[in-house]
């Protein structure tokens, strides 16, 4: 019974020892070089123990005699060596572990120092970053204020302003330009500049952008611009180079000044310079300018012209006896009679030459001057006005008609002298007739 139990226990121990040998052999490649020889001795001892277990089991099964004292001595010796190796390995392992722990502590201390230093650096960097962010916020706020001020100034400009890039695309406009264009600002941005206003110079080398891109320092033109709604208005357009902060040419900055009122004033001044304030007829300067032009045309196209030279009779008597207001009224009435006498298709110009003298330049078929049909119409107009019983004076106009023939041209002054002579001949004829 005891023998069987002993064999079973030794057999179990041999199984554990066999497993230990297999495990030791598998770990042999991963054992550090400093422990490799000791690990091999330890593996050999395990093989020795395994061999002893197997020898003992075989001897027991075959009932072979074994010297108990020798076996015990060998086992104890091998066990002592095994334990020594185990303790040595354990001691070395513990030393390595402690060394590793010390290295880990040192590394941890160094890491903590580096983390602390890095933390300080990060805190300093964060403070600098906060200062930079604060400075940028202040700069951004200041820039926004400047942009707002510039935008307000831009929109307060009396001139329309737009920025156009090299591709003729509108980048920015002010409120005045929006009003001039008659198109909302959000639609203007991105449009081609020539799509807003049409002009003959658009998309030609003479356009402002093309001239700026070819080196012109500035361009100024007076143009009549056509809006999308068909409105045409005069405008002075100025263009200057638009450059980046680095000096690269981006496009143009164009200014548009509506000069409609100025043109109206110029036309009004021009009219005033050639128009008689009292009668609304051409003054002497205006009449001569018109007559000179038609005399040149008459000479070129072989056209006969007639000049009716008229003088308001009794002007001095009216001023002396009825007052200058009545005299002015008489002059206006004479002018009105002259305007109503002539058909628009026949008359080329009616003017007050000064004082009580008038002149009418006529276009009609050749007829004898003294029998010109307009004379009868003029007499009828005067007679119709004199029929009014409440009149304070009788309207009377002396006239003379001079003829301009292309084959014998003369100056306008000579033509006026001919008319004046014909008119005085009429006055002399009247005085002669009144005496008889």
Tens digits of per-residue pLDDT, 163-197?
A: 999 999 999 999 999 998 899 989 999 999 888 88
For residue 148, is it within any domain? no
> Whole-angstrom Cα distance, residue 217 to residue 238?
11
The CATH number of the domain holding residue 241 is: 3.30.450.20
Last residue of a domain, one of 211, 237, 263: 263
The pLDDT score that the predictor gives to residue 329 is: 93
Question: Are residue 419 and residue 281 in the same domain, yes or no?
Answer: yes
Residue 110 scores a pLDDT above 70: yes
Question: Are residue 237 and residue 366 in the same domain, yes or no?
Answer: no
> Whole-angstrom Cα distance, residue 99 to residue 201?
91
Last residue of a domain, one of 263, 297, 331: 263
The CATH number of the domain holding residue 386 is: 3.30.70.270
Let me know the angle formed at the C-alpha of 225 by 224 and 229, rounded to the nearest 5 degrees.
Answer: 135
For residue 131, is it within any domain? no
Question: Are residue 281 and residue 426 in the same domain, yes or no?
Answer: yes
Question: Are residue 106 and residue 194 in the same domain, yes or no?
Answer: no
The predicted model gives 345-360 an average pLDDT of: 89
Question: Are residue 257 and residue 281 in the same domain, yes or no?
Answer: no
Question: Are residue 14 and residue 42 in the same domain, yes or no?
Answer: yes
Task: Name the residue range of residue 259's domain.
Answer: 158-263
Last residue of a domain, one of 236, 263, 290: 263
Question: Are residue 253 and residue 282 in the same domain, yes or no?
Answer: no
Number of domains in the chain: 3
Question: Are residue 31 and residue 69 in the same domain, yes or no?
Answer: yes
3-state helix, strand and coil shares in percent for the chain, rounded to the nearest 5: 60, 15, 20
The pLDDT score that the predictor gives to residue 302 is: 82
Residue 409 scores a pLDDT above 70: yes
The pLDDT score that the predictor gives to residue 1 is: 62
Helix axes 324-341, 315-322, angle to 10 degrees: 140
> Whole-angstrom Cα distance, residue 159 to residue 154?
9
244-268 residue pLDDT tens: 888 899 899 999 999 888 888 777 7
36-80 residue pLDDT tens: 777 777 777 778 777 777 777 777 677 666 664 555 555 555 555
Q: Predicted confidence band at 3 (pLDDT cuts at 50, 70, 90)?
A: low
For residue 97, is it within any domain? yes
Predicted model pTM:
0.46
Question: Are residue 338 and residue 420 in the same domain, yes or no?
Answer: yes
Mean pLDDT of the chain: 82
């Amino acid at each position: 019974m005891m023998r069987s139990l002993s064999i079973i226990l030794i057999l179990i121990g041999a199984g554990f020892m066999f497993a230990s040998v297999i495990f030791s052999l598998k770990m042999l490649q991963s054992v550090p070089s400093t422990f490799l020889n000791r690990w091999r001795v330890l593996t050999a001892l395990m093989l020795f123990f395994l061999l002893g277990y197997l020898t003992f089991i075989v001897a027991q099964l075959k009932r072979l005699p074994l010297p108990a004292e020798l076996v015990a001595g060998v086992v104890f010796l091998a066990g002592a060596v095994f334990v020594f190796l185990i303790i040595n390995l354990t001691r070395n392992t513990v030393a390595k572990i402690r060394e590793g722990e010390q290295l880990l502590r040192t590394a941890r201390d160094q890491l903590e120092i580096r983390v602390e230093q890095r933390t300080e650096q990060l805190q300093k960097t964060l403070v600098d970053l906060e200062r930079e962010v604060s400075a940028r916020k202040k700069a951004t706020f200041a820039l926004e204020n400047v942009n707002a001020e510039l935008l307000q100034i831009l929109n307060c400009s009396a001139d329309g302003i737009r920025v156009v890039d090299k591709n003729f695309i509108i980048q920015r406009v002010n409120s005045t330009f929006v009003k001039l264009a008659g198109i909302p600002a959000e639609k203007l941005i991105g449009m081609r500049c020539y799509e807003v206003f049409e002009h003959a110079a658009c998309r030609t080398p003479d356009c402002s952008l093309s001239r700026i891109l070819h080196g012109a320092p500035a361009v100024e033109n007076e143009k009549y611009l056509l809006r999308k709604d068909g409105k045409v208005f005069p405008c002075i357009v100025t263009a200057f180079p638009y450059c980046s902060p680095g000096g690269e040419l981006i496009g143009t900055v164009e200014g548009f000044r509506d000069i409609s009122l100025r043109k109206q004033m110029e036309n009004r001044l021009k009219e005033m310079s050639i128009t008689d304030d009292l009668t609304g007829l051409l003054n002497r300067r205006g009449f001569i300018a018109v007559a000179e032009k038609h005399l040149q045309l008459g000479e070129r196209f072989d056209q006969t012209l007639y000049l009716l030279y008229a003088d308001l009779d009794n002007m001095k008597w009216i001023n002396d006896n009825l007052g200058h207001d009545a005299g002015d009224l008489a002059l206006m009435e004479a002018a009105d009679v002259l305007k109503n006498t002539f058909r628009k298709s026949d008359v080329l110009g009616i003017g007050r030459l000064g004082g009580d003298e008038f002149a009418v330049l006529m276009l009609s078929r050749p007829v004898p001057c003294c029998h010109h049909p307009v004379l009868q119409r003029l007499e009828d107009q005067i007679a119709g006005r004199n029929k009014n019983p409440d009149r304070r004076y009788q309207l009377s106009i002396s006239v003379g008609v001079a003829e301009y023939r292309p084959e014998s041209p003369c100056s306008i002054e000579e033509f006026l002298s001919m008319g004046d002579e014909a008119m005085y001949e009429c006055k002399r004829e009247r005085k002669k007739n009144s005496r008889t």
